[in-house]
Amino acid sequence: MNLLVIGAGLSGLMAAYSAAKAGLRVQVAAKGLGSMHWSAGTVDVMGYTSEEMSRPVHQPLDAIQALSHTHPEHPYVLLGAHHVQAALDDFVVLTGELGLPYGGAATKGDNLLLPSAVGALRPAFLAPQAQLAGDMSRPELLLIVGFHGLRDFYPELIAENLAKQGFQARAAFLPLSLLTEQSDRNNVHLAQALDDKARRMKLGSELKRLAQPGERIGLPAILGLDDYAAALAELQAAAGVPIFEIPTLPPSVPGMRLYKALRARLWQMGVRVDAGLEAIGASTVAANGAAGRVQWVETATSSRPLKHRADAYLLATGGILGGGFDSDHTGRIWETVFGLPLTIPQKRYEWFRPAFRALHAMKGLRGTALDVFGHAQVRRVERQLIDEYRGLIETVLAKLGPDNHDVAVAIAELPDQIRGYEEIKLEGVKQFRHAAAQLISKLG
Ligand SMILES: Cc1cc2nc3c(=O)[nH]c(=O)nc-3n(C[C@H](O)[C@H](O)[C@H](O)COP(=O)(O)OP(=O)(O)OC[C@H]3O[C@@H](n4cnc5c(N)ncnc54)[C@H](O)[C@@H]3O)c2cc1C
């Protein structure tokens, strides 16, 4: 084997593809899935600079050039803007060949600005074709369509938030039964449902009914898993307006499409991608005792460790999330396979800065009607319950006496009935209220 790639995230799979295309014999060994299954499916390049965390970068490749003065050690600078550009160009060509085309902003070199699932704007350099019509530099008005009962996608929240930022947007709902007969389905199930042409046709005619001239429609990213190109084309033709996907919370359908497409291409090229092989160590000591070059990498399997020998090894194990780095409560952080030296942000909150940036930008919404975490029916009911329980106990105290002590205790213990999440919790609340009414009547 010429090259062992360790890790099956976007970096590992793309590296394996490039090496195999150049004629090397390649194998990919990975512990598990990478962060593609979490990600929005876009390729983000320098969305923000550390100097200006709240303003998205407009032209990221130019910003990389500028970085060379301020941060000469930055990986983008070490790589060079022209290599970043070349890699992005290769990616666009490859995804085109895979039938999962990616594209960029209308003005070459600009970042796209795409709406997120809470209506914030997110810079991305490349996006799957299905997300491109969401670019906020486009002139069409926005109609965000959700489905009754679909969790974690609130069209009103997205539309109101976009409107707050000066974009004309409205929201509409369709019944979830258009997509599935079962209520508890995740985004991947719904995307698979839309691989079915008959369902797409039904959805298409509903979208046509909702859309007004001059609008574009934003839908959750569920427009087909395997048949997404046909799904997008048919839905746009049926609705008569541009349609775009808005990435949802994980699991990520756009990420899964990309993963599946890349894996399938590697398979065709004769590259084995073995999941479930965790690299647990390596030896750099040759038979003659000389040190300095990796001799083998060891992986753990369910039976016994395996040694993999290759001419070269490519480490693509990602960061904390993918498992490439690990840390402990003291703030120590280390690279897990080779123990490579790391440069680590000294302030621990900076480790998570990219993931929390979007949430931070939304802090003004906390406690308002647009608070995504406070929006759901369950959260509203939870807040009501505090006052309800207080009222209940005040009633009990007013009527408490030796004869009704047992009833009072039973009432005080009622919240124990409210357990679980979402629908199960709401059912518990129903029973709580019913029991409370009955017990109160027994207080005398
Ligand atoms: C929620 C979320 C959303 C994101 N959205 C975007 C986005 O839309 N656009 C964007 O550009 N970036 C996004 N990112 C960042 C992006 O996902 C990562 O920068 C990128 O995917 C990292 O890819 P990777 O291949 O380096 O690592 P990963 O995708 O993390 O893959 C690491 C791989 O290494 C394997 N591995 C780890 N340790 C071992 C081991 N010891 N032995 C063998 N295998 C091992 C893992 O199992 C996995 O297969 C997002 C990140 C998160 C967390």
User: Looking at residue 303, what is its pLDDT?
Assistant: 76
Which atom of ligand 1 has the smallest separation from the CA of 33? 49
Which atom of ligand 1 has the smallest separation from the CA of 278? 42
Per-residue pLDDT for the chain (444 aa), expressed as one digit of tens each?
999 999 999 999 999 999 999 999 999 999 988 899 999 999 999 998 877 777 899 999 999 988 888 889 899 999 999 999 999 999 999 999 999 999 999 999 999 999 999 999 999 999 999 999 999 999 999 999 999 988 889 999 999 999 999 999 999 999 999 999 887 788 999 999 999 999 999 999 999 999 999 999 999 999 999 999 999 999 999 999 999 999 998 899 999 999 999 999 999 999 999 988 999 989 887 777 676 789 999 999 777 889 999 999 999 999 888 889 998 877 788 899 998 988 877 566 665 665 556 555 555 555 555 555 554 677 788 888 998 999 999 999 999 988 899 999 999 999 888 877 666 778 889 999 999 999 999 987
> What's the 376 CA to ligand 1 centre distance in angstroms?
30
Comparing CA positions, the residue from 410, 392, 378, 358 lying closest to residue 39 is 358
In the DSSP assignment, the letter for residue 68 is H
* Amino acid, single-letter form, for residue 91: F
Is residue 40 within 8 A of residue 54, CB to CB? The reply is no
Which atom of ligand 1 has the smallest separation from the CA of 319? 30
> What's the 12 CA to ligand 1 centre distance in angstroms?
9
User: Looking at residue 360, what is its pLDDT?
Assistant: 58
> What's the 325 CA to ligand 1 centre distance in angstroms?
11
Nearest CA to ligand 1 atom 48: 34
Residue whose structure tokens are 């599935």 = 180
Sign of CA dihedral 201, 206, 207, 212: positive
- Residues framing ligand 1 (Cβ under 6 A): 6-12, 29-36, 38-44, 278-279, 316-318, 321-324, 336-337, 355
Residue 77 token pair: 């600078």
User: Looking at residue 377, what is its pLDDT?
Assistant: 72
> What's the 61 CA to ligand 1 centre distance in angstroms?
22
> What's the 34 CA to ligand 1 centre distance in angstroms?
5
> What's the 351 CA to ligand 1 centre distance in angstroms?
14
> What's the 277 CA to ligand 1 centre distance in angstroms?
16
* pTM of the predicted protein model: 0.79
Pocket test for ligand 1, best of 39, 76, 114, 249 (most atoms within 8 A of CB): 39
Outline where DSSP puts E strands in 359-408. none
Residue 223 token pair: 């427009």
User: Looking at residue 366, what is its pLDDT?
Assistant: 56
> What's the 4 CA to ligand 1 centre distance in angstroms?
18
Give residues with Cβ within 8 angstroms of 199, minimum separation 6.
178, 179, 193
Burial group, residue 138, by CB count within 10 angstroms (0-12, 13-18, 19+): middle
Architecture of domain 1-39+252-344 in this structure: 3-Layer(bba) Sandwich (3.50)
Pocket test for ligand 1, best of 13, 14, 27, 35 (most atoms within 8 A of CB): 35
Q: What CA–CA distance (Å, rounded) separates 44 from 112?
A: 9
Nearest CA to ligand 1 atom 35: 7
